[in-house]
Structure 1
Amino acid sequence: MKIQNKMACLAVLFLVSIEQVIKIVIYNNFLDKKSPILSPILYFEPRFNRDYSWLNSMLQLGISKWIHISVVAIMSILIYLFYKYLNKQFGNNKIIDIMYAFIFSAAICSLIDKIFWNGSLDYILVNGFFTFDLKDVYINIFIGLLILSLLLKNEVLNQIDENIVKNFTKYILRKLKVIIKH
């Protein structure tokens, strides 16, 4: 594993740890507390989202915990494999490593929420809209970095073309063949 990949792994561990420590502290000390952060817009107001996802909660779809866990687990694996694929194809790139650290951390935090917290402990309320947590911030940082990288024409992202899905699929299939043979 290259040093850059080790830094990305450490960043994931750090981001996941921060998110989980915050939730443990809130759960043990501040679960019943409410406080304005930036009144009348932003409040500290912890609550559990037992619907397992924003979409499931908003549309009241009734999708089970285990389906959510399966989807997040599959997405986590695909994120990891896509990151490895990009490193193999284009070498290390700092912005790709940073983006990976945020999106993979969010995926792992989501998995932890569903398995160990039986939902997400969200704690920042945007009055009249939604409540979110640090994991949601990680996702938005990833999206922001992706948009910024595309606008600034990142050299690696510019090399990614319309064949990326086809080539990535072939890459995954080759990996699966190796796993099956062993």
Structure 2
Amino acid sequence: MKIQNKKTYLAVLILVTIDQVIKIVINNNFFDKISPILPPLLYFKPMFNRQYSWLNSMLQLGVGKYTHILLVAIMSILIYLFYKYLNKQFGTNKIINIMYAFIFSGAMCSLIDKIFWNGSLDYILVNDFFTFDLKDVYINIFSGLLILSLFLKNKVLNQIDDNIVKDFTKYILRKL
């Protein structure tokens, strides 16, 4: 394994650990606390999202815990395989490694939340509309970096063409 990839996996471990330690501290010491961060927009207000996902919660879909665990597990495997595929096809790339660290960390935190917390301990309330946690920040950082990379025409991302789904599917089938 290349040094760059080792750093990426270390980053994933650190990001997941930070997310979970924060949740443990909040759950044990600050769960009943409410504090303004940037009133009237942001507040510290911990709550458990027992709907297992933002989409399930907002649309009241009623999709259960084990379905969410299965979906996140499948997505995590696909994210991992796609990262391996990109490394094989294009070599290691710093921005791809950073993006992977954030999206894979977010996926792992989501999986841990669903399995061990029976939902997500969210703690930042935005304008009395929705509550999020660090895992959601990780996923949004990934999204922002992806959009920024596309606008800045990252050389690896520019090499990805319309055949990516077909090529990635072949790559996965060879792994099986």
- Per the shorter chain, which TM-score range? over 0.9
Q: Which letter does structure 2 place at the counterpart of 1:72?
A: V
> Does 2:140 correspond to 1:137?
no
Farther-moved stretch of structure 1 (123-132 vs 45-54): 123-132
C-alpha displacement of 1:128: 2.8
**Which residue of structure 2 lines up, in the alignment, with residue 161 of structure 1?**
161
Query: Within 2, Cα distance between the matches of 1:54 and 1:165?
Result: 27
TM-score (norm 1): 0.96
In 1: Cα distance, 2:9 partner to 2:25 partner? 24
Q: Match of 1:180? A: none
Helix, strand or coil: the match of 2:63?
Answer: coil
Distance 1:31 1:129 in 2: 19
Specify the alignment match of 1:151 in structure 2.
151
**CA deviation digits over 1:99-128, x for unaligned, max 9?**
000000000000000000000000000023
Structure 2 SS opposite 1:33: coil
SS of equivalent to 1:92 = coil
Report the AA paired with residue 103 of structure 1: I
- Which amino acid in the other structure matches residue 172 of structure 2? I
User: How many residues are paired up?
Assistant: 176
Q: Which residue of 2 aligns with 1:53?
A: 53
Q: Does 1:106 align with 2:83?
A: no
* 1:129 to partner: Cα distance: 1.6
State the alpha-carbon separation in 2 of the partners of residues 128 and 27 from structure 1. Answer: 21
> Secondary structure of 1:69's partner?
helix
Looking at structure 2, the residues matched to 33 and 165 of structure 1 have their Cα atoms a distance apart, in angstroms, of: 47
> Matched residues in 2 for 1:94 and 1:60: separation?
39
Q: 3-state DSSP class of the match of 2:95?
A: helix
Asked if 1:8 is matched to 2:4, the reply is: no
Q: Which residue is equivalent to 2:121? A: 121
Aligned identity (percent) is 83
Residue equivalent to 2:19 = 19
Confirm whether residue 40 of structure 1 aligns to residue 10 of structure 2.
no
**Residues in 2 aligned to 1:105 and 1:25: alpha-carbon distance in whole angstroms:** 19
| CA RMSD of superposed structures (Å) | 0.4
Q: How far apart, CA to CA, are the structure 2 residues paired with 1:40 and 1:66? A: 36
| Aligned equivalents of 2:58, 2:143: Cα separation in 1 | 21
In 2, Cα distance between equivalents of 1:154 and 1:41: 34
Q: Letter of the aligned partner of 2:95 in structure 1? A: I
Distance in 1 of aligned mates of 2:8 and 2:45: 32
**Structure 2 CA distance, aligned partners of 1:61 and 1:142?**
26
Q: Displaced runs of 4+ in structure 1, greater than 6 A?
A: none
Identify the residue that residue 87 of structure 1 maps to in structure 2.
87
SS of 2:45's equivalent? strand
